[in-house]
Structure 1
Amino acid sequence: MNLTGNARGALFMAIAMAAFTCNDALVKSVTHAMNTGQILFVRGLMTSALVLVIAWRMGALGSWRILLQPPVALRLAAEIFASLTFISALGVMPLANISAILQSLPLAVTLGAALFLGEQVGWRRWLAIVVGFIGVLIVIRPGPEGFSLAAIYAIASMIGAATRDLATRRIRSDVSTLFISVITAVVITLVGGALIVPMGGWQPMSPAVIGRLAAASILLLIGYQTIVNAMRVGEISFVAPFRYMSLLWAIAIGFLFFGDLPDLWMTVGAVIVIASGLYTFYRENRRRAEPIAQQSTPESP
């Protein structure tokens, strides 16, 4: 079956969401045993070893001077920021709640594409973006004292992930996707190692914890590869909505393994966010279809 670029992008995104959500659950299960820096370092060592071997065998290794390219450097910085804040949020917030907040990522990507990539966004999509972020506030429900630290971590992670996705679109097409994964894994590992002592020092690990991080590293590698491919072969406005599949995974895993059930406000907020994102997707499709329809309409005699 010959898939279009958008169809392949959607498939890659669906696989990425399953891999990342399962990885998130495994990481959440060990946050009580070690700090964020140690998690990033240990998981990163395993992921780096896997991706380096694969890249070497496939001849995908390139020059590390690619780090000097602004889009690659920005992508790495955004990935590091998103990873640190996300793992910090995992330790103090239910998986489904974090996922619900991150469902606003397509809206953030659309906003970023309009502000920084020159994409045309009409007033309806601007309204959908505003409504979607209201949905995020419903999920978070800040009290009189303001946002909780967990909510700040989750929002910061969403901003970092949106920046990463937008930067990915600016990376030259001749740069190997696999080599991008190598660079990402190695740099995050080094950053995690540097943060172990400032974040509380090294903690001993049981075989069960090591096994979970090993499985998480494999899933992370799958996620790295598929999300980069998704953003490079498909249009952002088409591919991004498929991130919503991660919420279904997060709710199911949160209930089965952590005993978390979404409350009414989280459900309402998530529905608003997803509806807003789907509407922006619908409007983008209409915007692309209108010029084609006009061109195909026969002129009057």
Structure 2
Amino acid sequence: MSRGNNTRLGIALMIAVSVVFASQDGISRHLAAEYNVFMVVMIRYWFFAAFVISVAARKAGGVRAAAQTRQPVVQGLRGLLLAAEICVMVTAFTILGLVESHAVFAAYPLLVAALSGPILGEHVGWRRWVAIGVGFVGVLFILKPGLGVFDPAAVIPLASAIMFAVYGLLTRYVARDDSTATSFFWTGTSGAVAMTFVGVWFWEPMNAVDWGWMGALCLTGALGHWLLIRTYEVAEASAVQPFAYFQMVFAALVGITVFGEVMEVNVIFGAAIIVAAGLFTLWRERQQG
């Protein structure tokens, strides 16, 4: 099949992406429970930056071509936003666990749809607004406000989802003028610079075993991003995006089997509502695209 039209391969790659990123989340949960979140994310970003620079150096024009952009402020803001979002989400893993954090984070496609109007000027029809509303009913099922004592920490993954949605929309915005390679380069380098300014103040000695886990975290991060790039190279985003929900499933399996987390009924029910609403918004986007 021609480039950009191999849907079966794209789906297989997206499922592989979900497995790799779920593994990364499990490793992040372990390391952030033992060491400062900022230090863990900083080291991860050092490797990520080295990876994107090496990728850029191998392409035509090299690093200079990859770094060239007419919107450096927005590109830098994207990088800062993603770095901050990762810090927030990893913090959620340590407080709430992988199961509940991912169940709430699954709302981010709905947030993309809701914010695409004010940020990008895109039209959002009434059907998608209904789906967005239904999806947030699912979020409320998970958060359980008003039932017993509401844990304020439950809004941490929701804040992460909002940040990731804005990051995604800004990525769409810069894509009007910049290539994927340029956006990828700025994501890694600006995030690494920002995390270095913060993370060096929280440096802690790490034992040899956890340095091994840190190496695994860096490798899974690079592998996951490489697989994601390949996914969008071989298939249309709208065809493979629904399969990104597998990350929530795989992350939940890691949380339950490795960390002894419990899948509560309200989380299952709420996540099912969110995923159904998210799939509907993706379907509507494809229909109108």
Provide the TM-score with structure 2 as the length reference: 0.84
Q: 2:225 maps to what in 1?
A: 224
- In structure 1, distance between residues paired with 2:242 and 2:147: 33
- In structure 2, distance between residues paired with 1:236 and 1:108: 17
Question: 1:172/1:145 Cα in 2 relative to 1: closer, same or farther (>3 Å)?
Answer: same
User: % of aligned pairs identical?
Assistant: 28
Q: 2:2 maps to what in 1?
A: 2
Question: Matched residue pairs, number?
Answer: 286
Question: 1:132/1:123 Cα in 2 relative to 1: closer, same or farther (>3 Å)?
Answer: same
- Tell me, yes or no, if the aligned pair for 2:68 and 2:182 is still in contact at 8 Å: no
Q: 2:215 maps to what in 1?
A: 214
- Tell me, yes or no, if the aligned pair for 1:105 and 1:158 is still in contact at 8 Å: yes
- In structure 2, distance between residues paired with 1:197 and 1:86: 20
The one-letter code matched in structure 2 to 1:2 is S
The one-letter code matched in structure 2 to 1:61 is V
- In structure 2, distance between residues paired with 1:233 and 1:121: 28
- Following TM superposition, by how much is the alpha carbon of 1:75 offset from its aligned partner in structure 2, in angstroms? 1.8
Q: 2:99 maps to what in 1?
A: 96
The one-letter code matched in structure 1 to 2:87 is L
- Following TM superposition, by how much is the alpha carbon of 1:196 offset from its aligned partner in structure 2, in angstroms? 3.2
Question: 1:191/1:261 Cα in 2 relative to 1: closer, same or farther (>3 Å)?
Answer: same
Q: 1:246 maps to what in 2?
A: 247
Q: 2:145 maps to what in 1?
A: 142
- Following TM superposition, by how much is the alpha carbon of 1:262 offset from its aligned partner in structure 2, in angstroms? 0.9
- In structure 2, distance between residues paired with 1:70 and 1:234: 30
The one-letter code matched in structure 1 to 2:280 is Y
Structure 1: gaps spanning 5 or more residues: 289-301
- In structure 2, distance between residues paired with 1:50 and 1:277: 32
Alignment of 1:41-52 (within 5 A): 41-52=42-53
- Tell me, yes or no, if the aligned pair for 2:104 and 2:271 is still in contact at 8 Å: yes
**Of 27-36 and 107-116, the range deviating more from structure 2:** 107-116
**Of 4-13 and 98-107, the range deviating more from structure 2:** 4-13
Structure 2: gaps spanning 5 or more residues: none
The one-letter code matched in structure 2 to 1:158 is A
- In structure 1, distance between residues paired with 2:191 and 2:132: 31
Question: 1:47/1:76 Cα in 2 relative to 1: closer, same or farther (>3 Å)?
Answer: closer
- Following TM superposition, by how much is the alpha carbon of 1:183 offset from its aligned partner in structure 2, in angstroms? 2.8
Question: 1:132/1:230 Cα in 2 relative to 1: closer, same or farther (>3 Å)?
Answer: farther
- In structure 2, distance between residues paired with 1:174 and 1:5: 24
- In structure 2, distance between residues paired with 1:278 and 1:189: 33
- Tell me, yes or no, if the aligned pair for 2:4 and 2:236 is still in contact at 8 Å: no
Q: 1:56 maps to what in 2?
A: 57
Alignment of 1:103-122 (within 5 A): 103-122=106-125
Question: 1:126/1:239 Cα in 2 relative to 1: closer, same or farther (>3 Å)?
Answer: farther
Q: Secondary structure at the match of 1:92?
A: helix
- CA offsets per residue over residues 191-238 of structure 1, 9 Å max, x none? 22322366xx32110122111121111221233345467679876655
Question: 1:230/1:70 Cα in 2 relative to 1: closer, same or farther (>3 Å)?
Answer: farther
- In structure 1, distance between residues paired with 2:218 and 2:268: 30
Q: 2:267 maps to what in 1?
A: 266
**Of 153-162 and 38-47, the range deviating more from structure 2:** 38-47
**Of 178-187 and 241-250, the range deviating more from structure 2:** 178-187
- Greater Rg by CA: 1
Which residue, 191, 196, 205 being the options, matches 2:194? 191
- Tell me, yes or no, if the aligned pair for 2:80 and 2:190 is still in contact at 8 Å: no
The one-letter code matched in structure 1 to 2:91 is S
Query: Is it true that 1:73 corresponds to 2:94 in the alignment?
Result: no
Q: 2:38 maps to what in 1?
A: 37
Question: 1:281/1:32 Cα in 2 relative to 1: closer, same or farther (>3 Å)?
Answer: closer
Question: 1:197/1:41 Cα in 2 relative to 1: closer, same or farther (>3 Å)?
Answer: closer
**Of 64-73 and 89-98, the range deviating more from structure 2:** 64-73
- In structure 1, distance between residues paired with 2:288 and 2:183: 32
The one-letter code matched in structure 2 to 1:20 is F
- In structure 1, distance between residues paired with 2:70 and 2:23: 29
Question: 1:30/1:269 Cα in 2 relative to 1: closer, same or farther (>3 Å)?
Answer: same
Alignment of 1:125-164 (within 5 A): 125-143=128-146, 148-164=151-167
- Tell me, yes or no, if the aligned pair for 1:105 and 1:161 is still in contact at 8 Å: yes
- Tell me, yes or no, if the aligned pair for 1:38 and 1:196 is still in contact at 8 Å: yes
- Tell me, yes or no, if the aligned pair for 1:47 and 1:185 is still in contact at 8 Å: yes
